[in-house]
Amino acid sequence: MSEFDYIIVGGGSAGCVLANRLTENPNVSVCLLETGPPDKTPLIHVPAMFAFLPETEYSYRYETVPQKGFNEVTVTEGAANAVDSLGGSHPIPQSYQEKRKGFQPRGRTLGGSSSVNGMVYIRGHKWDYDHWAALGNDGWSYEDILPYFVKSEHNEALDDQYHGQDGPLNVAQLRHDNPFTRYFVEAGSKHYKANDDFNGADQEGVGTYQVTQKNGKRHSAAVAYLNPAKKRKNLTILTDTVVNKINFKNLTAVSVECTTKNKPNELHAKKEILLCGGAYGSPTILQRSGIGNESFLQSHNIECLLDLKGVGENLQDHIDYITSHRVDSWELFAKPFKSLKFTMRAPFELIKFVLASKGMWTSNLAEGGAFIKSDENLEVPDLQLHFTVGMVEDHGRTEMWGNGFSCHVCLLRPKSVGTVKIASKNPDDDPLIDPNYLSNDEDMKVMIKGYRKMMEIMNTEPLAQFDNVRNPINIDDDKAIESAIRARSDTIYHPVGTCKMGNDGMAVVDSNLKVRGVKNLRVVDASIMPTLIGGNTNAPAIMIAEKAADLIKQDAT
């Protein structure tokens, strides 16, 4: 079968939600397309093993273009042959200086980034959604979207007007009590109020994160939404499927051109095509399909069907700085065989996980958190902390001996805005990602304040006793802090905004998530966010898809 009512392009968080909700009607046929393989590896489902996923086939390993706001690094590339005075030839490494690139891993499997992320369940602040509505996006205020958060959620611990108990997505407390996370909350609570629900009446404060887990295992969007729908005869799931472009007839989306396991395929949609490729996938598919900035498309020899200048613009992301502390403790994680204590303990903890779904392997690593203000005069928190029970540097790619802990500080509402663009017509070529980090001077000023506030907690007992910082910085020296941020800061994996919702000339979709200027095409994922929300973005992506499912059903009646 090559014809369906709905074709969902992207099997990530939003795509899984739509596949479930749309196939609730047995008379509707749906095809879900995912570039990556099925989500079968234990690395996905054993929570703490997610740290090993960025370097596997289950993740895209994107890099940004060199970031002007970062420091310069030496890049070695290939070798040239030099001839000595005797005529001998010797290879000499070629090296040059360029601005540092950022790393951008994204989920590449069923469940998308919900299958490879840190499982932190955060919705953002009420202010964020009221701001969307104030920008002219009717139906997206906090009052409008809260019912969809509640609808999606089954919260094991919290039961009030802010939380649901009947939704597909299981939200739970951590099942492993790590003393260092308790130390973080205790130290932080000496400076900020304690908060046991970051998604309730008030986001501000210090506490432990709730996680998208069930019975100690990851509860991704694929597990929560897609698995229950797989048995439905009206759902077809195609993995290992690379989407080239969308085909149009008279500016109406009619089919998807793709390859499934390297075999060319064209799938036809009777009703709608739903783009759920995320902040990088959705805009680049549109660009390859001839929708985007006309001059840019022409530069890549792509016929422009619709000059929609906002496609790929408005990229926003949370920039993040990490401090790591070396601590010799049984309670903390380390890389395999890089710590004798962790190497000895890990097998026993794995047995505990297999037999009782408890212990260290149920950890999401980023266990503690805080939402705080860089200035008390601000209306809402503009900084978020993630306390991690393991040392982390360069996304875990730096080899480090021993145990330790880390703390992240990220800028929740950056003023720097970037772009994502195709590098070529070839869908296998990585996109050109330019978050434009730190291009707005205000972002650096707030990050410096954020570093100081984070270290204020790190230097408070009971954490202060563990003061073996891997990259010590003079906390009274703005220039030293700025230099460190330019040298080591990077994403905390929350890119949004590249197909933004709105009414202005740069808007890509309207408040019903329909792509402006064409028919039968919507974008349903975090790329529609007009502004970056104050928190982790997976729960909001699920909310967006829950709301979109209702909008699609309403149009079908």
Output the domain CATH number for residue 232: 3.50.50.60
* Distances 131 to 143, 366, 457, 531, 539 between C-alpha atoms, Å: 12, 28, 31, 9, 18
Q: Report yes or no on 56 lying in a domain.
A: no
Domain range holding 479? 175-208+319-411+438-488
Same domain as 183, residue 156: no
User: Can you tell me the distance from the alpha carbon of 406 to that of 401, in angstroms, rounded to the nearest whole number?
Assistant: 14
Residue type, 58: Y
Same domain as 335, residue 396: yes
* The pLDDT value given to residue 88: 62
Same domain as 335, residue 452: yes
Q: Report yes or no on 30 lying in a domain.
A: yes
Q: Report yes or no on 112 lying in a domain.
A: yes
Same domain as 449, residue 344: yes
DSSP state for residue 492 in the 8-state scheme: -
User: Can you tell me the distance from the alpha carbon of 316 to that of 504, in angstroms, rounded to the nearest whole number?
Assistant: 18
DSSP state for residue 37 in the 8-state scheme: -
Alpha-carbon torsion, ordered 113, 119, 124, 129, to 10 deg: 40
* The pLDDT value given to residue 89: 62
Q: What's this model's pTM, rounded to 2 decimal places? A: 0.95
Provide the sign of the torsion angle of the four alpha carbons 332, 333, 336, 338, taken in this order: negative
Structure tokens at 261: 């396991």
538 contacts 8 by C-beta, under 8 angstroms: no
Q: Report yes or no on 433 lying in a domain.
A: no
pLDDT tens, residue order, the chain (557 aa)? 599 999 999 999 999 999 999 999 999 999 999 999 999 999 999 999 998 888 889 999 999 999 999 999 988 766 666 555 556 666 666 778 899 999 999 999 999 999 999 999 999 999 999 999 999 999 999 999 999 999 999 999 999 999 999 999 999 999 989 999 999 999 999 999 999 999 999 999 999 999 999 999 999 999 999 999 999 999 999 999 999 999 999 999 999 999 999 899 999 999 999 999 999 999 999 999 999 999 999 999 999 999 999 999 999 999 999 999 999 998 998 877 677 778 888 888 889 999 999 999 999 999 999 999 999 999 999 999 999 999 988 998 888 888 999 999 999 999 999 999 999 999 999 999 999 999 999 999 999 999 999 999 999 999 999 989 999 999 999 999 999 999 999 999 999 999 999 999 999 999 999 999 999 999 999 999 999 999 999 999 999 999 999 999 999 87
218 three-class SS: strand
Same domain as 469, residue 349: yes
For the chain, give the number of residues: 557
398 three-class SS: coil
CB atoms within 10 A of CB 72: 13
Same domain as 517, residue 373: no
Domains: count for the chain: 2
Of these residues, 45, 125, 219, 494, which one is catalytic?
494
Q: Report yes or no on 77 lying in a domain.
A: no
* The pLDDT value given to residue 204: 98
Q: Report yes or no on 91 lying in a domain.
A: no
* Distances 37 to 157, 217, 237, 423, 475 between C-alpha atoms, Å: 33, 20, 11, 24, 46
Same domain as 151, residue 283: yes
Residue type, 253: A
User: Can you tell me the distance from the alpha carbon of 541 to that of 513, in angstroms, rounded to the nearest whole number?
Assistant: 13
Same domain as 287, residue 229: yes
13 contacts 279 by C-beta, under 8 angstroms: no
CATH number, position 462: 3.30.410.40
Closest Cα partner for 499 from 153, 9, 122, 34?
9
User: Can you tell me the distance from the alpha carbon of 2 to that of 106, in angstroms, rounded to the nearest whole number?
Assistant: 29
Closest Cα partner for 549 from 238, 241, 225, 111?
225
Q: Report yes or no on 92 lying in a domain.
A: no
Residue type, 392: V
User: Can you tell me the distance from the alpha carbon of 109 to that of 366, in angstroms, rounded to the nearest whole number?
Assistant: 22
Same domain as 377, residue 280: no
- State the DSSP H helix or E strand holding residue 21, giving kind and residue range, or none if neither: helix 13-22
User: Can you tell me the distance from the alpha carbon of 205 to that of 193, in angstroms, rounded to the nearest whole number?
Assistant: 5
Same domain as 276, residue 192: no
Same domain as 368, residue 452: yes
* The pLDDT value given to residue 106: 97
434 contacts 420 by C-beta, under 8 angstroms: yes
In sequence order, the 6+-apart residues with CB closer than 8 A to the CB of 151 are 164, 167, 546
Q: Report yes or no on 379 lying in a domain.
A: yes
Provide the sign of the torsion angle of the four alpha carbons 458, 459, 463, 469, taken in this order: positive
Scanning the structure block, which residue is given the tokens 């802010």? 162
Domain-terminating residue out of 464, 488, 512:
488
> In sequence order, what are the beta bridge partners of 315?
418
User: Can you tell me the distance from the alpha carbon of 55 to that of 168, in angstroms, rounded to the nearest whole number?
Assistant: 29
For the question of residue 90 being annotated catalytic, the response is no
192 contacts 329 by C-beta, under 8 angstroms: no
DSSP state for residue 211 in the 8-state scheme: B
Closest Cα partner for 468 from 364, 363, 329, 373?
329
Report the half-sphere exposure of 545 (CA within 13 A, side-chain side).
30
User: Can you tell me the distance from the alpha carbon of 415 to that of 441, in angstroms, rounded to the nearest whole number?
Assistant: 9
Cis ω on the peptide bond leading into residue 91 (within 30° of 0)?
no
Scanning the structure block, which residue is given the tokens 């099997």? 11
Same domain as 464, residue 376: yes
